[in-house]
A = this chain, B = another copy of it.
Amino acid sequence: MSLPHALLGLLATEPRSGYELSKELAEGPVGRFAWKAGHTSVYPELNRLLGKGLIADRGEGPRGRRTYAITDAGRRELRSWLMDDPVGPSKMRNEPVLRMFLLSVLDPDDAITVLRRVIDHVDTEAAELRRARAPYGDTVPPGPEGFGHIAAEFGVRVDQTVREWALWAIDQLSRHRSTP
């Protein structure tokens, strides 16, 4: 049940609409690396948060667009979730990683084919993230921009790690193939 906290966290940096939140959770760095959700989950959850007084409606914009902002109660809830909760084992779903774990059941040639695909994918993704991060250079700006910058940095690093691991795995699997 982390979706409400994801929404509170995004709204804590700056007010956004349900549409923008959905975009971030469906395609943005947060959705890709942390918590993916479609708009069909986001809108009902926003209404729940509204009911609990954790967010507030900031009136309507152009096409029925409604912008939400976090309230003080929302901030308190978010802070206690981040600070008081233990770090312990928690919810985890990562389909790409699952695929990679299961790769060893394929014969080495097939596994290598898939690993190459994985490498292409993380390369593309890392390039996108670098573009998103580019305007700020090497230092994290304070405020809302810093948020995205730190997230993007995380993505780039994880992608790089996956890439190297995949290459290592290819090498290991190749050895099995060449020396049966």
Contacts and interface: CB of A to CB of B under 8 A. Distances in A.
Stoichiometry, copies per complex: 2
A125 B147 CA distance: 26
Contacts of A153: 165, 168-169
Contact of A165 (B82, B97, B121, B157): B157
| Most B C-beta atoms less than 10 A away, residue of A30, A79, A104 | A104
A32 B172 contact: no
B32 A89 contact: yes
Chain A residues touching B, range: 35 or more
Interface of A: 2, 5-6, 9, 12-13, 27, 29-36, 75, 78-79, 82-83, 87-106, 110, 113-114, 117-118, 120-121, 139-140, 142, 146-147, 150-151, 153-154, 157-158, 160-161, 164-165, 168-169, 172-173, 175-176
